[in-house]
């Protein structure tokens, strides 16, 4: 499948590109997720076992559709996903500067106590290993995959800063951190003049809007970009797990993650089906998964949505979701059925914010 150079998409339906957080790095609104690459008879095999030729086809489809953003992690397939991604770019003749490569570090890559976490030693050694697997001399976005309670945040941030200074990493991000943890990191960064955090990768869907309580307000306040993982809630929002045609032969039957409130979710899917009914893209009927992706693309805090796939037609369906435009009434209906119940201090803050409303003349 090698070519001299795979051209980037240049058509009428070119996706939007957005700057990632407070940076000059522009990424496509859809990001190719590669968790389905390289799995074996392990937890990663339950998600996907795509090998090189199959992965090459998905990467080619994504790039030709205008997606310039690819996300992986050292832990996916225990390094296999990174190796496949790096080889795909070589096989397809992609110029390194035409793609934004993101990977992550945290999970166990060996049996020892120091072969995991966000310590300086683990970060430095795993970055070197990721560069080799990806067959590149720099990573565009290097992310800490989760919070490590055993390592001081200062140590983690200093290690990331060293990688940026060495030129091995260009930008850094976080994933699966709480709002207070991100703000503590930002405070340390400002005090020590370290490289900034430009992105947060987090779970956000119709059936998982918890991000809206604290994390999204924090990201907007600090101008940190939001990358959404599992936008279909582990396939739940495809609609395959609700209704008369549900099959037990699916990923959630073996790996039920992320957790979903099924009672609440069934009402959400019902409204999604009603909105999808009658809509078409390029002559093809719109499905509920595309409605879920489109809703996320309508959310202002979202920079890029990570879409993965096992089959070419599945990826093409996900890509077409970017063409769907939801009306104000449709967005209101979707928000109404999926909105979080109010909790303290949210409801109190909303009430007391009224004290600062402008006073009208005569009142």
| pLDDT tens column, 312-361 | 999 999 999 999 999 999 999 999 999 999 999 999 998 998 888 776 55
pLDDT for 147 beyond 80:
yes
Q: Say how far apart CA 212 and CA 228 lie, in whole Å.
A: 13
pLDDT for 109 beyond 60:
yes
What integer pLDDT is reported at residue 1 of this predicted model? 39
76 catalytically annotated: yes
Structure tokens at 153: 């945040």
Q: Say how far apart CA 100 and CA 91 lie, in whole Å.
A: 17
**For residues 82 and 103, is the Cβ–Cβ distance under 8 A?**
yes
Which segment of 165-174, 302-311, 348-357 scores lowest on mean pLDDT? 348-357
Which segment of 48-62, 77-91, 231-245 scores lowest on mean pLDDT? 231-245
The residue-averaged pLDDT of 287-296 equals: 97
pLDDT for 252 beyond 60:
no
What integer pLDDT is reported at residue 45 of this predicted model? 74
pLDDT for 285 beyond 60:
yes
Give the model confidence (pLDDT) of 186-236 as tens digits: 999 999 999 999 999 999 999 999 999 999 999 999 999 999 999 999 999
Q: Say how far apart CA 85 and CA 230 lie, in whole Å.
A: 19
Q: Which alpha helices (DSSP H) does the chain contain, by range?
A: 43-47, 52-64, 80-91, 120-134, 153-166, 179-192, 215-222, 251-254, 262-276, 288-297, 312-320, 328-338, 346-353
Q: Torsion-angle region of residue 333: left (phi > 0), alpha (psi -120 to 50) or beta?
A: alpha
Give the model confidence (pLDDT) of 123-132 as tens digits: 999 999 999 9
Contacts of 83 (CB under 8 A, 6+ apart): 38, 133, 134
pLDDT for 145 beyond 80:
yes
High-pLDDT (> 90) share of the chain, %: 79
Structure tokens at 2: 């090698």
The radius of gyration of the chain's CA atoms, rounded to the nearest angstrom, is 21
Q: Say how far apart CA 243 and CA 259 lie, in whole Å.
A: 19
pLDDT for 10 beyond 90:
no
Q: Say how far apart CA 75 and CA 81 lie, in whole Å.
A: 8
Q: Say how far apart CA 334 and CA 89 lie, in whole Å.
A: 38
pLDDT band at 258 (very low <50, low <70, confident <90, very high): confident
**For residues 32 and 62, is the Cβ–Cβ distance under 8 A?**
yes
What are the phi and psi torsion angles at 126 (to 5°)? Answer: -75, -30
pLDDT for 299 beyond 50:
yes
pLDDT for 80 beyond 90:
yes
Catalytic residue from among 76, 142, 236, 241: 76
3-state secondary structure of 224: coil
Q: Say how far apart CA 330 and CA 286 lie, in whole Å.
A: 14
What integer pLDDT is reported at residue 247 of this predicted model? 54
High-pLDDT (> 70) share of the chain, %: 90
> Quick count: other Cβ atoms within 10 Å of Cβ 117?
20
How does 1-31 read in b/e, with b if 16+ C-beta sit within 10 Å? eeeeebebeeeeeebebeebbebebebbbbb
**For residues 211 and 176, is the Cβ–Cβ distance under 8 A?**
no
What integer pLDDT is reported at residue 362 of this predicted model? 57
What integer pLDDT is reported at residue 36 of this predicted model? 94
Contacts of 239 (CB under 8 A, 6+ apart): 269, 272, 273, 287, 288, 289
Contacts of 310 (CB under 8 A, 6+ apart): 36, 48, 50
Which segment of 6-15, 212-221, 279-288, 302-311 scores lowest on mean pLDDT? 6-15
Q: Hunting for tokens 């001299």 — which residue is that?
A: 4
pLDDT band at 264 (very low <50, low <70, confident <90, very high): confident
How does 303-331 read in b/e, with b if 16+ C-beta sit within 10 Å? bbbbbbbbeeebbbbbbbbbebebeeebe
Q: In 3D, which of 292, 304, 273, 277 has the Cα closest to residue 206?
A: 292
What integer pLDDT is reported at residue 43 of this predicted model? 80
């Amino acid at each position: 499948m090698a070519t001299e150079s795979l051209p980037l998409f240049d058509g009428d339906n070119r996706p939007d590109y957005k700057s990632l957080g407070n940076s000059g790095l522009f990424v496509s609104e859809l990001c190719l997720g590669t968790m389905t690459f390289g799995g074996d008879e392990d937890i990663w095999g339950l998600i996907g076992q795509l090998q090189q030729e199959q992965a090459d086809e998905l990467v080619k489809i994504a790039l030709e559709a205008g997606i310039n953003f690819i996300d992986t992690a050292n832990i996916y397939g225990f390094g296999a996903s990174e190796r496949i991604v790096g080889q795909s770019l070589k096989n397809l003749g992609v110029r390194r500067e035409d793609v934004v490569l993101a990977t992550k570090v945290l999970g166990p890559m060996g049996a020892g106590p120091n072969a995991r976490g966000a310590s300086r030693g683990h970060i430095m050694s795993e970055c070197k290993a990721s560069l080799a697997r990806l067959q590149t001399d720099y990573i565009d976005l290097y992310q800490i995959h989760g919070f490590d309670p055993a390592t001081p945040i200062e140590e983690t941030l200093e290690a990331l800063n060293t990688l940026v200074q060495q030129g091995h990493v260009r930008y850094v991000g976080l994933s699966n951190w709480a709002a207070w943890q991100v703000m503590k990191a930002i405070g340390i960064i400002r005090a020590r003049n370290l490289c900034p955090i430009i992105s947060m990768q987090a779970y956000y869907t119709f059936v998982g809007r918890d991000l809206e309580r604290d994390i999204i307000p924090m990201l907007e306040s600090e101008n940190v970009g939001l990358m959404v993982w599992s936008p279909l809630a582990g396939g739940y929002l495809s609609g395959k797990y609700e209704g008369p045609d549900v099959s037990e032969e699916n990923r959630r039957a073996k790996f039920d993650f992320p957790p979903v409130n099924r009672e609440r979710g069934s009402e959400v899917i019902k409204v999604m089906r009603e909105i999808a009914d009658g809509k078409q893209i390029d002559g093809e009927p719109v499905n509920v998964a595309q409605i879920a992706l489109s809703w996320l693309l309508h959310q202002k805090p979202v920079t890029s949505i990570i879409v993965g796939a096992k089959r070419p037609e599945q990826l093409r369906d996900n890509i077409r979701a970017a063409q769907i435009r939801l009306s104000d009434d449709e967005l209101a209906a979707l928000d109404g059925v999926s909105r979080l119940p109010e909790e303290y201090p949210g409801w109190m803050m909303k009430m007391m914010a009224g004290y600062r409303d402008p006073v009208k003349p005569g009142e």
